[in-house]
Structure 1
Amino acid sequence: MKQTKPPNFMLVVLGCLIPVIWGFPFGPVLDMDVTPRTTVHVNGLLGCNHFHGAAVNYSSLLLEDGPGLLYVGAREAIYKLDTANISDTNISFSLEWAASAEQKRQCLSKGKNNQTECYNHVRFLDRYNDTHLYTCGTHAFRPRCAYIDVARFTFVRFEEGKEKCPYDPTKSYTGFIIDGEMYSASQYEFRDIPDIRRNFPFPNLRTDDSPTRWLLESDFVGSALLRESINSSIGDDDKLYFFFTERNTEPTAYSSQTKVARVARVCKGDIGGQRTLQRKWTSFLKARLVCAIPDYELQFNVLRSVFVVEGSNVHDSVFYGIFGLEWRNVKMSAVCQYSLRDVQTAFDGPYMELQDSKWREYTGKVPDPRPGSCITDQHRALLLNSSRDLPDNTLNFARRHPLMSKQIQPVGGHPLLLQRSADYTKIAVQQVVGLDGLIYDMLFIGTDEGWMHRAVKIRDRVHIIEELQLFEEKQPINNMVISQKQNSIYVSAPSGLVQVPLSSCERYTSCYDCVFARDPLCGWDGRTCAEITSYANRSSLVQDVQMGSRGCTNITNDGFVMHRTRAVMAGDDVLLQCDIRSNLATPYWTLNGQQLQGYGVEFGYRTGNDGLLIIGAQNQQSGHYRCYAVENGVWVPVRSYVVRVQPVLPPASHLSGSPTALPESFFTTKTVPTPSPSSGPVEQILSPPPAQLPSGPEFQTYRHMEAMYISLVAVLGGLCLVLTVVLLYVSFCAHNSPNARKYSQQALSITTASERKRSSHFELKTISSHCNGRMEGRSRATSRDGEFLQIIQMDIQTTPSEEPPPAPPLPMPPPLPASEYANGLSATLPSVLRKMNGNSYVLLGQSDSEMTSPLYHSFTEELNRILEKRKHTQLDIQPDESSV
């Protein structure tokens, strides 16, 4: 008997979690899945500058705000740009730094990729001193570092870089130079052993890897220095923090969770031990960062980026982290905020100990002085002036107990922000003072597809003001730096660099739009939305970051909205458009001041993203429609319509009297056969009921027009009869002439040329009232009851076997009155001819024959102009919603 293979445990867990992930019923208490208020595509960006050099993979950014310089490290090149305008190539400089041909050949011999790996990728770029920069690159899997003279922007010296830069350009890396000391963290050398190092000056320090490995397959994402020695009452030391994700060795409730986010700390004054931990960190400690949704036991355990925000007191500092899921096929990101005080509490708590290959909390006695602590006044009182003076029992304990037991929970106990449709890659934060005097954290978050979310933290939530598409091609955001001097943020990606203003207040065109944005950088001055920093006196500015709904007066008055009038025939479907820019606004409709309740076919209404659809309009649906955008509890009018539903005209057999000069859409069309068998169907205009006929002088005018129409029809009928006789005579002569074949070809060429001269290749075709009809070639069938006219676009190809019949001229109705029916009426046509945007015209007929009536020429020329214009303009910003 064949045994069934047991299901993969990972797949089972993932299958159970996916429904939970995609169906979070957080409710109003924990609604973290935030939707950006507005979406701006790359062609709608305002005030942005772009830089695209000859190189690719722009990753390293060094901003010097004082002199206004931005240094950019890319693949085999370093650029020096002006922060005022990075697009200005006249003042930009480039420095090529490519690996030699011999070095690339050796890289290939090691089995590396000559398309990506065998180049010099600049991974480190920082200020060394007042006159020089220091940079390091992978250099085709043989790292090199160099000094750059700032004034001349040239290399002055090169040196070995294998202890300062990773070999592989895809390996994670972080580092900085402070006070002439270089610190870095990465997976160095070919063994991919992670390490946190002090590269210079002497003595060089690194992490320990025996008997307990301090770092396990660590991917570093960031680092920071916090000067905790300033104003310290205990003589504390400055500390360096490194953030990374590593392989998990702790006990966990989920066996499938193989990674964990960490923060590690070392003391800046650490110089290693005397006998134990020589040239190793004596102050290394690490703790776990937790970013999870407690109610759902969902752990975001992969740290992708971090940004530290220093407070006025260093102990009040916070840092933001971007987290993702371990499963790459699930796209989701979270943002958590942590307090430095909570980090310090974890490092002052109990230790973990490795017992029988498992980590457990250590409950024994802790040596004194405390392992992993920095040198303070208390140590100096015991004549312990440096780490080399620490006793061996303290250093041995620190060597075997690098991990802390207490986990670091985020502020509030849950993430600030959740994104189920984007993978965040980078974050930068700036603090801004609003008009209410409160300090707000502005978050700039990059995605893996080249977008940036501009958000603001409000209490324990995050409001995404807008999402910006910075690059046309999908690509991850590599790095971001903020310039307060230029009021800009510089964003790098594989293809280039973009300078983006920190705010785009001019994008908001009304008071409520400016207030709803909840942007602490913007305020409404009564006429425009502008940056508050440009006003010395801000008392007249309006801003509401906390609620996003207060400050604007008379915003519910619809006097400034667009008004339209729609006149339609009963039974037609009508779409009333209502374009809402905000993704957070909900459209609501009212009819004669009463809110429309219920939507669907049974109610006669249906709502969508583009407006309100009236299904089968009836007389009771006439009235004044208003569309409101409801956001933050405020109703803001967007569009206004007056809809008039006209009754359907009775059949032609019940009509009597003379036709009246009513609008064109008040007439229905019906195809009837002509007396001549070769002339095909023509259209007959049916007059409205006699009850609508005017009297007095106007009646005489209409009688004259009736006579004119009858005369015109008689003349055209005679012309058709004459033309038919001529064609029959020519055909008879051609068949009996020796040169019949020649004359037939000439006639065919003339007919084909005539067809090509048509200004618009459209043709009427009869269709069933229930479904679209299909006809081969040109339509010549006579009409039947229940048929309608359809316009089809023809690609005319005449063959020798075809003899196209002449198209009879059609009488045209008088022009539309412009005053009473400015928006026109909807033609009584089947649903296959309806256009939901109300922007279609029905072409009733065109002919090449000469017409003597000026009404024919004016209507045809006007219609051709409209069709030509619409052919080049598929979607108008404010489309004419007439239906003729």
Structure 2
Amino acid sequence: MHISSKRVCPMRRSVEMQGALSSVLQLLLLSCSVRVAAGYPFRTPLDLDVTPRVTVLSSGLQGCKHFQSSAAVNYTTMLLEADSERLYVGARGAVFALNASDISASSALTIEWEASPEQKRQCRLKGKDNKTQCFNHIRFLQRFNSTHLYTCGTHAFSPLCAYIDEKRFVMSSQPEDGKEKCPYGPTTGYTALIIDQEMYSASQYEFRSFPDIRRNFGSLKLKTEDAPTRWLNEADFVGSALVRESLGSSTGDDDKIYFFFTEKSQEQTTSYSHSRVARVARVCKGDRGGRLTLQKRWTSFLKARLMCSLPEYDFHFNMLRSMFVIPGHTPQDTVFYGVFGLEWKNVKASAVCRFSLPDVQRAFEGPYMESQNSDFKWKEYTGKIPDPRPGTCITDALRAKGINISISLPDDVLDFVRRHPLMSQQIQPSDKRPLLFRRSTDYTHMAVLMVQALDGQTYPVLYMGTDEGWLHKAVEVKGHLHIIEELQLFDEPQPVNSLVISTKQMSVYVASSSSVVQLPLSNCNRYTSCYDCIFARDPHCAWNGDQCVDIMAHEDRSTLIQDIENGSKGCENTQDDVALRSRSVRVGDDVLLQCELSSNLATPFWTLDCSELQGYDLNSGFRTGTDGLLIIEARQDQSGLYTCYSVENNIKVPIVTYNVTIRPPSPLPVVPPDLIDTLPPPTELPTSKRPLPPPPAPLLPHSDLLSPRNMEVMYLSLITILGGLCVVLTVVLIYVGFCLQVGHRGKYSLRAAAAAYPKKHSKNRKQHRSSSHMELKTISSHCNGNSICNGVSKQQSSNIQDGGLLQIVPGEGKTSPNKGLLPPAPPLPPTLQRASPEYDIPSGLSATLPSMLRRMNGNSYMLLRQTDSENTSPVCYSFAEELNKILEKRKHTLLLPKPDESSV
């Protein structure tokens, strides 16, 4: 999906010269982008539109384990407890505790928690969908303390929450009201965290026209402000994370909770403003609200825009779908990985952008945005900023001034926070561009794992689930993502709802609507050669001299080979086995030399006797594709050693070598005259077998009867006889046509009867052409029966057109008394040349073939090619065709235009 400025908007150059028309350019770009849904060419830079190297279907998955319960569906929430080796899964109507080492084991524990029939009835009375919404969907499942878990469910649009005794895996008490902690619907955007036994949740709750970020439990409940300035505008939350910025802080800063979401845009810019934008918001963990202003409201709430775009193409990914936070050795090393999508629902595309915590912090320390009226777009605030800085957490500097908690903040600071929640500075991704772009793919969830490779560097490995049930594994190298493989997890397409990684179990867990799947983090044994292992660039895999192995299972790594940075070094001194095959075919056969490439990034390269094959056009006799090399009409000079190479990362690796021998055609055996009498008499062949063609007739001995003068007399006599026969048959055909027209009106339409059609009925010819009856005719090319072979010169034969397989000529379905006979039809086209003497196709079929049928040697398909007009042999005309030629010369009858032909 490369967007060419010259191709998408031809006026781009002139627009750039006129800065005042930049907004018009954005509108044009939007309109051009919308054309993507209609198939308009939509391109992106080649280095971003990444193709997965290996594709593995569900039938080829190795080490895959499934969990599926008949008691529940729609698995949406997962909690991994590495120490206890348990995987907790929340589904519709149930909570499960699975063995993390093998989720398919029979030791799974279950808590059934479904809404009561009365609650479902109340849900239906509210007008909700009885098939999807009126159930108890588990939306939250996390650890509350050392002995209990805490879970919340929609409970048929009346949310409830409950504590779960981890040891006995039962609900330790009656469920409590969850309307302030859990969304009402199963698809509403939602995120929540439990930090120090306090719950931070963000969602758009029912019976409220706007979303909210809340802190529940205890007496210190806080939420966002909605008047006079609304802090959240139709926000759709996708994730949240705690960043302990107080660790090692020299200023005594507080820990912060970050929320990630997409909301309706509020900015007023010079360029086109998208209707929805991606955001990150933060609040301080120690926030206690204000005394009078912002009482029971956040005093530290700020939000900023997350940018994930291609600036050189003015193309933005505004919809945030998933966010994963990687904590570093220090808080400043924290990295955010986000999956972004397009705003248009009918266009599938995804981008992955990475953000650093220092960049996020700088945005919150920059200028604010303001709006004097909620109906107007926001713009940058240029006035005076009160002290202490609004939206900051309590630090050592504030404590020195006697401000130990947020309740002590001045009212002017809190009033400024109320009216200025949005920051002006946009948060740009690392390298100012996405790490990856994928068209025709919608990523739904993502998890990231840091893996240390043999070179000592730590590489981020991303596992990304799609809306169709695929899992993409990618590694970040030099600011770009290389997709190692794509795995089909489910036979039926379904979105990935949740994704969790376990380093202890070396597994990745994927939840969907139908089941939960457990996969190993890597499958190194999938790569069968040294170069195949190196090209994968998987930090988990390395070559040990014999096979591709997982480096985590080897303590001594000195002999292992791996190249993550380039994916090309280390296998120069290794010898890979090359398959050697032999093929022996006859001259004129078509041969397919198969060469299947395991990598989607590789291209085939063919050599003949160690020399590169040049050209694959029609005259070269070769065709190449992803499945192999096709030799067309093999010649003896094409014999030799054919080698297929896989070219990847500018390295040629031999895959297979064919020793092709092309044999001349076998001559017919010659029987000596003295042995003819000893041969057994010929036996009649079974009716199921096709008889051999008769031997060529012996040449007539030279005689005076074959003199030119006698031959001329014979030709004149023959033409006279044929002319008489034509006249007789013409009368017969006219009589038969008249009889059929009278006796069997409405059944058939004879073309021969058209010659006798009177001119006075010419006005009805148009009506006859539109009749519903269709006449079918086939054309024979054999010179047997009543047919005449006419010799045609090369120049004449080049004007002969190939006939169709089956001609359908409009005829007469039913003739009314007021209508005459059918007008004459056009002359029949000449027949086709026989396809091949090797196959004696019955008369009536071979002539109707529209193209030559080539015989393939040992292959599963056939090559169809149009007949070469320059090599047309003498054409055979049947008696009916000669009759049509004579009738055509009759000037008293007007022929209809050539009827339309329908393909069959």
TM-score class, shorter: 0.7 to 0.9
Aligned equivalent of 2:522, options 491, 503, 511: 503
- Deviation of 1:310 after TM superposition, in Å, equals 0.7
The 2-side partners of 1:9 and 1:588 are apart by 43
Aligned equivalent of 1:153, options 152, 169, 184: 169
Aligned equivalent of 1:682, options 691, 710, 714: 691
The 1-side partners of 2:307 and 2:857 are apart by 51
Partner letter of residue 546 of structure 1? E
Q: Any conservation in 2 of the 1:167–1:190 contact (CA below 8 Å)? A: no
Q: Any conservation in 2 of the 1:425–1:476 contact (CA below 8 Å)? A: yes
Q: Deviations over 1:275-314 (max 9, x none)?
A: 1001100000000000001111111000000000011011
The 1-side partners of 2:271 and 2:238 are apart by 25
The aligned runs of 1:561-710 (5 Å cut-off) are 561-649=578-666, 656-657=670-671, 681-683=690-692
Q: Deviations over 1:187-223 (max 9, x none)?
A: 0122342011101232100000011110011000000
The answer to whether structure 1 residue 832 and structure 2 residue 856 are counterparts is no
Runs of 4 or more above 6 Å deviation: 8-11, 17-21, 672-680, 684-687, 766-774
The 2-side partners of 1:601 and 1:785 are apart by 19
The 1-side partners of 2:544 and 2:694 are apart by 58
Partner of 1:789: 839
Query: Secondary structure at the residue paired with 2:390?
Result: coil
Given the superposition, is the C-alpha separation of residues 218 and 646 from structure 1 closer, same or farther in structure 2, using an over 3 Å criterion?
same
The answer to whether structure 1 residue 45 and structure 2 residue 54 are counterparts is no
The answer to whether structure 1 residue 236 and structure 2 residue 253 are counterparts is yes
Runs (5+) with no aligned partner, structure 1: 1-7, 660-671, 688-765, 775-783, 793-829, 842-884
Given the superposition, is the C-alpha separation of residues 837 and 343 from structure 1 closer, same or farther in structure 2, using an over 3 Å criterion?
farther
Aligned equivalent of 2:459, options 428, 440, 446: 440
Given the superposition, is the C-alpha separation of residues 102 and 649 from structure 1 closer, same or farther in structure 2, using an over 3 Å criterion?
same
Partner of 1:550: 569
The 2-side partners of 1:39 and 1:176 are apart by 36
Q: Any conservation in 2 of the 1:674–1:682 contact (CA below 8 Å)? A: no
Given the superposition, is the C-alpha separation of residues 314 and 22 from structure 1 closer, same or farther in structure 2, using an over 3 Å criterion?
farther
Given the superposition, is the C-alpha separation of residues 683 and 223 from structure 1 closer, same or farther in structure 2, using an over 3 Å criterion?
same
Aligned equivalent of 1:301, options 318, 328, 332: 318
Partner of 1:200: 217
The aligned runs of 1:312-327 (5 Å cut-off) are 312-327=329-344
Aligned equivalent of 1:121, options 137, 140, 149: 137
Partner letter of residue 438 of structure 2? Q
Q: Deviations over 1:2-38 (max 9, x none)?
A: xxxxxx99984444567998443625xxx11100000
Partner of 2:266: 249
Query: Secondary structure at the residue paired with 1:358?
Result: coil
The answer to whether structure 1 residue 476 and structure 2 residue 490 are counterparts is no
The 1-side partners of 2:687 and 2:398 are apart by 114
The 2-side partners of 1:164 and 1:785 are apart by 77
The 1-side partners of 2:430 and 2:687 are apart by 86
Q: Deviations over 1:564-605 (max 9, x none)?
A: 122222222211110110001110000111111221212221
Query: Secondary structure at the residue paired with 1:395?
Result: helix
Runs (5+) with no aligned partner, structure 2: 1-26, 674-680, 697-779, 784-801, 807-833, 843-850, 863-904
Q: Any conservation in 1 of the 2:589–2:856 contact (CA below 8 Å)? A: no
Q: Any conservation in 1 of the 2:444–2:465 contact (CA below 8 Å)? A: yes
Query: Secondary structure at the residue paired with 2:555?
Result: coil
Query: Secondary structure at the residue paired with 1:342?
Result: helix
Partner of 1:487: 506
The 1-side partners of 2:155 and 2:480 are apart by 44
Tell me the number of residue pairs that the alignment of Structure 1 and Structure 2 aligns: 690
Partner of 1:173: 190
The 2-side partners of 1:49 and 1:630 are apart by 35
Query: Secondary structure at the residue paired with 2:239?
Result: strand
Q: Any conservation in 1 of the 2:474–2:481 contact (CA below 8 Å)? A: yes
Partner letter of residue 354 of structure 2? Q
Q: Deviations over 1:769-828 (max 9, x none)?
A: 999999xxxxxxxxx996543799xxxxxxxxxxxxxxxxxxxxxxxxxxxxxxxxxxxx
- Deviation of 1:633 after TM superposition, in Å, equals 1.4
Q: Any conservation in 1 of the 2:267–2:273 contact (CA below 8 Å)? A: no
Q: Deviations over 1:659-706 (max 9, x none)?
A: 9xxxxxxxxxxxx9988998985347999xxxxxxxxxxxxxxxxxxx
TM-score by length of 1: 0.74
Partner letter of residue 136 of structure 2? N
Q: Any conservation in 1 of the 2:37–2:346 contact (CA below 8 Å)? A: no
Q: Deviations over 1:843-866 (max 9, x none)?
A: xxxxxxxxxxxxxxxxxxxxxxxx
Query: Secondary structure at the residue paired with 1:542?
Result: coil
Partner letter of residue 53 of structure 1? S
- Deviation of 1:85 after TM superposition, in Å, equals 0.2
Given the superposition, is the C-alpha separation of residues 620 and 10 from structure 1 closer, same or farther in structure 2, using an over 3 Å criterion?
closer
Q: Deviations over 1:412-465 (max 9, x none)?
A: 010000001211100100000000000000000000000000010001110000
Query: Secondary structure at the residue paired with 1:465?
Result: strand
Given the superposition, is the C-alpha separation of residues 351 and 189 from structure 1 closer, same or farther in structure 2, using an over 3 Å criterion?
same
Partner letter of residue 147 of structure 2? T
- Deviation of 1:404 after TM superposition, in Å, equals 0.3
Q: Any conservation in 2 of the 1:172–1:221 contact (CA below 8 Å)? A: yes
The 1-side partners of 2:34 and 2:97 are apart by 50
Q: Any conservation in 2 of the 1:591–1:623 contact (CA below 8 Å)? A: yes
TM-score by length of 2: 0.73
Given the superposition, is the C-alpha separation of residues 159 and 10 from structure 1 closer, same or farther in structure 2, using an over 3 Å criterion?
farther
The 2-side partners of 1:455 and 1:262 are apart by 25
Q: Any conservation in 1 of the 2:685–2:691 contact (CA below 8 Å)? A: no
Partner letter of residue 682 of structure 1? P
The 2-side partners of 1:537 and 1:171 are apart by 50
Aligned equivalent of 1:98, options 114, 139, 145: 114
Q: Any conservation in 2 of the 1:265–1:283 contact (CA below 8 Å)? A: yes
Q: Any conservation in 2 of the 1:674–1:681 contact (CA below 8 Å)? A: no
Q: Deviations over 1:510-532 (max 9, x none)?
A: 11111111000111111111111
Partner of 1:377: 396
The 1-side partners of 2:228 and 2:199 are apart by 27
The 2-side partners of 1:390 and 1:287 are apart by 23
Given the superposition, is the C-alpha separation of residues 493 and 383 from structure 1 closer, same or farther in structure 2, using an over 3 Å criterion?
same
Given the superposition, is the C-alpha separation of residues 191 and 553 from structure 1 closer, same or farther in structure 2, using an over 3 Å criterion?
same
Given the superposition, is the C-alpha separation of residues 623 and 13 from structure 1 closer, same or farther in structure 2, using an over 3 Å criterion?
closer
Query: Secondary structure at the residue paired with 1:365?
Result: coil
Partner of 1:403: 422
Given the superposition, is the C-alpha separation of residues 21 and 484 from structure 1 closer, same or farther in structure 2, using an over 3 Å criterion?
farther
Q: Deviations over 1:68-88 (max 9, x none)?
A: 011100001000001010000
Q: Any conservation in 2 of the 1:767–1:788 contact (CA below 8 Å)? A: no
- Deviation of 1:634 after TM superposition, in Å, equals 1.1
Given the superposition, is the C-alpha separation of residues 149 and 680 from structure 1 closer, same or farther in structure 2, using an over 3 Å criterion?
closer
The answer to whether structure 1 residue 388 and structure 2 residue 407 are counterparts is yes
